């Protein structure tokens, strides 16, 4: 048991890296608690003979947003490790449904998803980072530098990597060729995805948040019900009866 636990810890701190012969390379990163998701993504990529390098990283102190801020740093490291390869970054709770070679035809040095966010007086375009296409160019490297700098800024609230990406795009307007990924490659939520979507996303964080909200709602309704019963039986709520 101890030996197996030690081996599992070692695997969770080791990069997942396999060369399957594709011209492009899928990259991503995972903290030890996300290792099972990274391992599942690796198996998924093996199924379609897609090469990958998923970087093992330590979990940083702070909120969930702090973990996401390392995306440009991981991409910069991937550019150093694989300088001639087109890179497709994706979150490790993504999966693919086939070969992704069509992504190589997308224009731009960098390509990101672009979604519509509901606003009071309409909608706004919002760049995403669930999937990012990076060409092996000097301009890509310069943009990753700009995005990394925005992620290293000490802001309150911290926000996340997508907010910092938007800042980098705004601050460097006109300097870089940034394209929009076609929908099939944007990592649509699996519950909303169509048959045409080639990269889908099953959000571990959204699921955790949903379960947390469900638990909180259950506790709230239980307290309301309990106080109602105690008032009818004793004429006082639960805490008042307990403090007598």
Give the model's pLDDT for residue 211: 45
Residue predicted with more confidence, 231 or 128: 128
Max avg pLDDT among 24-28, 126-130, 171-175: 24-28
Say if residue 213's pLDDT is above 70.
no
Give the model's pLDDT for residue 65: 78
How confident is residue 223, by pLDDT bands cut at 50, 70 and 90? low
Give the model's pLDDT for residue 55: 98
Say if residue 230's pLDDT is above 70.
no
Say if residue 208's pLDDT is above 60.
no
Q: What tens digit of pLDDT does each residue of 142-194 get?
A: 999 999 999 998 877 777 889 899 999 988 888 899 999 999 999 999 999 99
Say if residue 42's pLDDT is above 50.
yes
Overall pTM surpassing 0.85 (yes/no): no
The phi and psi torsions of 185 (rounded to 5 degrees) equal: -115, 20
Give the model's pLDDT for residue 190: 93
Residue 108's region, left for phi above 0, alpha for psi from -120 to 50, else beta, is: left
Pick the range with the lowest mean pLDDT from 63-72, 105-114, 143-152, 181-190.
63-72
Say if residue 125's pLDDT is above 70.
yes
Give the model's pLDDT for residue 214: 47
CA dist., res. 102 & res. 184, Å (int):
10
Give the model's pLDDT for residue 210: 42
Give the model's pLDDT for residue 3: 54
The phi and psi torsions of 17 (rounded to 5 degrees) equal: -145, 120
Say if residue 219's pLDDT is above 60.
no
Give the model's pLDDT for residue 117: 78
How confident is residue 124, by pLDDT bands cut at 50, 70 and 90? confident
Percentage of the chain lying above the pLDDT 70 cut: 81
Say if residue 2's pLDDT is above 70.
no
Residue predicted with more confidence, 181 or 11: 181
């Amino acid at each position: 048991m101890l030996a197996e636990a030690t081996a599992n810890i070692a695997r969770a701190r080791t990069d997942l890296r396999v060369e399957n012969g594709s011209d492009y390379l899928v990259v991503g990163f995972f903290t030890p608690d996300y290792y099972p998701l990274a391992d599942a993504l690796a198996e998924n990529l093996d199924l379609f003979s897609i090469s990958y390098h998923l970087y093992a990283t330590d979990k940083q102190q702070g909120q969930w947003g702090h973990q996401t801020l390392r995306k440009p740093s991981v991409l910069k490291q991937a550019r150093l490790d694989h300088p001639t390869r087109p890179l497709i970054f994706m979150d490790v709770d993504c999966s693919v449904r086939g070969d992704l070679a069509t992504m190589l035809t997308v224009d731009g040095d960098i390509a990101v998803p672009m979604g519509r966010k509901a606003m009071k007086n309409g909608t706004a375009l919002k760049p995403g980072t669930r999937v990012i296409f990076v060409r092996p160019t000097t301009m890509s490297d310069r943009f990753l530098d700009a995005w990394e700098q925005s992620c290293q800024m000490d802001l309150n609230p911290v926000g996340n990597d997508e907010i910092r990406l938007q800042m980098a795009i705004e601050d460097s307007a006109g300097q870089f060729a940034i394209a929009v990924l076609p929908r099939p490659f944007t990592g649509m939520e699996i519950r909303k995805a169509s048959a045409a979507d080639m990269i889908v996303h099953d959000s571990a964080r959204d699921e955790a948040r949903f379960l947390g909200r469900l638990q909180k709602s259950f506790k709230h309704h239980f307290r309301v019900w309990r106080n109602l019963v105690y008032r009818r039986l004793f004429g006082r709520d639960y805490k008042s009866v307990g403090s007598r």
